[in-house]
């Protein structure tokens, strides 16, 4: 009886894994369609910036148990020029009210063409008036990367940002009408002060 129960539980877990992969893929494809249509309506060409480079996965070290999915939060953007474009404070404030940015994938190293690299979701973003940064809250479904965050083997994040390229006489090249395609776990993000941490 026990062996039969274990086989059933194993099949259920395989089915759950398949369904998570299926719906993550569907949500990713839907989001790409929405982004394309959004900029088509604006009648402007959006250009993306990926604000980091690569990720290295560490073996999990934590012995303790924790609840999955792992709840995570942090900061991923502030006013400034992390790469080519300068992002102004008013654009950050506008971005958090854009319904397209209400939820987007949490991924690995900007592998945004690979559905298998989706490890969770960003569930909410808010603009912090005091710090002048965009804060985020989300969850991780993958246990290995959840443990890497718990162990602080991974502490940085990096966003893929679609924006309209414009020019400002004071700061030069700027990005406007920001939309966030995905947020990735990385070894070192381009935005100073970005981070990811778990919370209860």
Does 2-198 carry CATH code 1.25.10? no
Q: Are 69 and 20 in contact (CB under 8 A)?
A: no
Q: What is the pTM of this model?
A: 0.71
pLDDT at 38: 73
Torsion region of 157: left, alpha or beta (phi above 0 gives left; psi -120 to 50 gives alpha)? beta
Q: How many whole angstroms separate alpha carbon 132 and alpha carbon 92?
A: 9
Q: How many whole angstroms separate alpha carbon 91 and alpha carbon 127?
A: 11
Q: How many whole angstroms separate alpha carbon 197 and alpha carbon 200?
A: 10
From first to last of its 200 residues, the chain has per-residue pLDDT tens of 555 666 655 665 665 555 555 555 566 666 777 777 777 777 777 777 777 655 455 554 555 567 899 999 999 999 999 999 999 999 999 999 999 999 999 999 999 888 889 999 999 999 999 999 999 999 999 999 999 999 999 999 999 999 999 999 999 999 999 999 999 999 999 999 999 999 98
pLDDT at 26: 64
Task: Give the angle subtended at the CA of 65 by the CAs of 61 and 68, to the nearest 5°.
Answer: 105
> What is the dihedral angle through the alpha carbons of 32, 89, 140, 200, rounded to the nearest 10 degrees?
-150
pLDDT at 8: 55
Which strand (E) or helix (H) includes residue 13? helix 2-42
**C-beta atoms surrounding 193 within 10 Å:** 13
pLDDT at 6: 66
pLDDT at 33: 73
For the record, the structure tokens of 53 come out as 């480079």
**C-beta atoms surrounding 147 within 10 Å:** 21
Tell me which residue has tokens 């002048």: 132
């Amino acid at each position: 009886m026990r062996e039969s129960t274990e086989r059933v539980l194993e099949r259920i877990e395989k089915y759950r894994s398949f369904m998570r992969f299926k719906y993550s893929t569907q949500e990713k494809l839907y989001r790409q369609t929405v982004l394309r249509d959004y900029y088509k309506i604006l009648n402007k060409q959006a250009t993306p910036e990926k604000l980091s480079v690569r990720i290295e996965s560490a073996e999990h070290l934590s012995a303790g148990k924790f609840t999955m999915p792992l709840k995570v939060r942090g900061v991923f953007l502030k006013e400034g020029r992390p790469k080519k474009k300068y992002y102004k404070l008013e654009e950050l404030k506008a971005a958090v009210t854009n319904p397209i940015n209400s939820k987007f994938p949490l991924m690995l190293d900007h592998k945004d063409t690979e559905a298998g690299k989706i490890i969770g979701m960003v569930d909410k973003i808010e603009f912090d008036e005091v710090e002048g940064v965009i804060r985020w809250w989300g969850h991780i479904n993958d246990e290995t990367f959840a443990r890497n965050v718990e162990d602080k083997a991974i502490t940085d994040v990096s966003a893929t940002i679609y924006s309209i390229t414009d020019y400002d006489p004071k700061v030069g090249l700027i990005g406007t009408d920001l939309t966030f395609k995905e947020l990735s776990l990385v070894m070192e993000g381009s935005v100073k002060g970005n981070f990811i941490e778990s919370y209860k």
